[in-house]
Amino acid sequence: MIIKNPAKIEETSMQIIGSELSEMGITIPEENRAAVFRAIHASADLDYATNLVFTDGAVRAGVEALKKGAAIITDTNMMLSGVHKKSLERYGNDAVCYMSDPEVAAKAKELDTTRAEVSMITAASKYPEGIYAVGNAPTALLKLADMIEDGMRPSLVVGVPVGFVNIIESKDRALEVCRQNGVPAIIACGRKGGSSVGAAILNALIYEAAGRE
């Protein structure tokens, strides 16, 4: 039977994910369940049931930050486009990405570094307590780690860059620094990740904050 109703498609997908994880003997803590399920739903990859690492209370911290109006900062416009803006209206949260900002591009050229790194510096000057989500650029995640060591305190770091170069190193460093400094974090260990996964995790938090499934 072909299912065409969008809500029914999502509902059935979540049921399938739950069933397959159960068959694998994997149980997700209730607090993290929505984020994990949405990451799997966005990628059709059950590995996210085991490679997503949550610091204690990370989901709760993200939800509470959203309820207090925290901004969301992404490292790609693709992730930004996947964030459910309508659900952010309840608390008036900004959602931004500075990757296409001409001043960021010029500064990156001047410093001979990546736009992703400079975009994090730019965002930190405006939203030091924002929710930062990195789905593409490990240099953005590494810069976040540096700034946290220097005293920046984001409400949450979602680190899910994807690829082969600097990926694992950036995630390991970000997780270690966040733990050492009490910054809530959700990190996808290993090489897997991406903007769609980052957006899915953010939306899980956004929907909970907005009071919807």
CB 14 within 8 A of CB 41: yes
Tokens for 133, please give them: 């989500």
Point out which residues pair with 72 in neighbouring strands: 95, 131
Helical packing angle, 30-43 and 58-67, nearest 10°:
90
- Our answer to whether residue 84 is catalytic in this structure is no
The residue annotated as part of the active site, out of 28, 32, 40, 41, is 41
CA dist., res. 167 & res. 82, Å (int)? 22
> If we measure between CA atoms, which residue out of 62, 19, 10, 63 comes closest to residue 38?
10
Tokens for 29, please give them: 């803590």
* Cα-based angle 131, 103, 117 (whole degrees, multiple of 5): 45
CA dist., res. 81 & res. 76, Å (int)? 9
Give me the active site residues, please. Answer: 41
